[in-house]
Amino acid sequence: MNHHASLLDEFRRMPAETEWLEFKEAKGSFDADTLGRYVSALSNEANLHGRDAGWLVFGVKDKIFVNTGARPVVGSLFASKLADLNALKLLVFNHTAPAIGLADPIEVAHPDCTPGSRVLMWRVPAAARGMPVAWKGHFWGRSGESLGALPLNKLDTLRAQSSLQDWSAVLATDDWSLLDAKAIEQGQALYKRRHASHAHVLDTLQNQSLSDWLHGLRLAKEGQLTRAALVLMGKPQAANVLGGPTPRLTWVLTDHTGTIQTHQHFDLPLLLAIDPLLAKLRIIEVNLLPPRQTAPLNLPNYDDWVIREALHNCIAHQDYAQGGRVRVTESPDSLTFFNLGSFLPGSVARVLGSQQPEQRYRNACLANAMVELDLI
């Protein structure tokens, strides 16, 4: 018996479903929205129970047979086609926040499966410390075997995990005049874009105060602003209350020998520094002639979305305690993005081998807010 079959048998013989384990028959189909809720719930509960992952098992009944002491296998035809499986994984990635990249389910060809079916074992990575996982804007959890909204005490427990070691979550000041009005306006515009399909979220924003909004984003607590709030929306003078480091973006232009030709710094608020920095880059049209094509294509030398993704991740993962800055170096044939801080996964090989995004964040408070602002 292989490892996966042994793990399946171990799960089948557990006396009851737990908060991190769920069985579904799913003989032919399963509602994608319900699956997404389970992904959110199992990820959050796995974190709270100290496990590296939760499990959603398709093709097994959730009722132990007395004669065998195990749940019976029926098999599942769900997501039998590769296209359906890939579409489902993309749906989960797009509607979970932080995004969860599900690996392909483990398929077990159990002898009790109906013809053409198999057991699917979905491994759901545990939520990162301080980063509860939402599905379509809502946090889900489990109470025993029941699926429901994540209770507030569990949500607070998850969010509080990183507060002691998260530089960005530290409360910095109760002086709200340090916030920049244009940065707040930009932040709320991005938030509306992120939740454009959630009418109830937009209605809430329309009727709530700035304080309520920032408290909801965990950028403020008990009337005080976090460092993350000041990094994103603070006036330049807010750097004085950040405990030493001065968050800054820098653009550097070099020639073909690497000699610096010019540079420019962009200070707080970083939310308003992103576009001016990108405006410095020399985006030009280049002619490309793909194989077997008769007409060239005119394309920009750099894709705007790719540049923003790289820059936003540098901002989210910068080790601000070191006092350095995020730097974008433009040379005639490349763009190089640099931020301070060790590589959390340890090695690129480990990232490639894990088949899923890194689940830890250096600045969980800042990263969570940037997710809600549609930046990462």
pLDDT tens track for 61-94: 988 887 888 899 999 999 889 999 999 999 999 9
Between 341 and 177, the more confident residue is 177
Q: What percent of the chain has pLDDT over 90?
A: 56
Range of the domain at 317: 249-286+295-364
Q: What percent of the chain has pLDDT over 70?
A: 93
Whether 145 maps to a domain, the answer reads: yes
> Residue 213, by phi and psi: left (phi above 0), alpha (psi -120 to 50) or beta?
alpha
Q: Are residues 234 and 267 in the same domain?
A: no
Residue 144 lies in a domain: yes
- The number of domains in the chain is 3
Residues 6+ apart with CB under 8 A from 150: 40, 41, 44, 132, 139, 140, 141, 158
Same-domain status, 188 and 263: no
Say if residue 352's pLDDT is above 80: no
Q: What is the pLDDT of residue 5?
A: 86
Residues whose CB is less than 8 angstroms from the CB of residue 93 and which lie 6 or more positions away in sequence, other chains included = 99, 100, 101, 102
The pLDDT, as a whole number, for residue 46 is 93
Instruction: Classify residue 177 by its DSSP letter.
Output: G
Would 140 be classed as within a structural domain? Answer: yes
Predicted confidence band at 23 (pLDDT cuts at 50, 70, 90)? very high
pLDDT at 359 exceeding the cut of 80? no
245 or 138, which is more confident: 138
Q: How many CB atoms lie within 10 A of CB 217?
A: 21
pLDDT at 202: 87
Whether 178 and 98 map to the same domain: the answer is no
Q: What does the pLDDT average to over 14-34?
A: 89
* Mean pLDDT of the region 136-159: 89
CATH, residue 126: 3.30.950
Q: pTM of the entire structure?
A: 0.57
pLDDT of residue 244: 67
Question: Of 139, 160, 181, which residue sits at a domain end?
Answer: 160
Mean pLDDT of 197-226: 91
Q: What is the pLDDT of residue 1?
A: 52
Is pLDDT at 356 greater than 70 in this prediction?
no
Instruction: Please tell me whether residues 41 and 155 are part of one structural domain.
Output: yes
Go through 18-43 and write b for each residue having 16 or more CB atoms within 10 A of its CB, e for each that does not: bbbbbbbbbeeebeeeebbbbbbbbb
Q: Please determine, for residue 349, whether its predicted confidence score (pLDDT) is greater than 90.
A: no
Q: What was the pLDDT predicted at 358?
A: 58
Give whichever of 176-190, 275-289, 328-342, 347-361 has the largest mean pLDDT.
Answer: 176-190
In a domain, 137, yes or no: yes
Q: Looking at the predicted structure, is the pLDDT value of residue 185 above 90?
A: yes
pLDDT of residue 245 exceeding 80: no
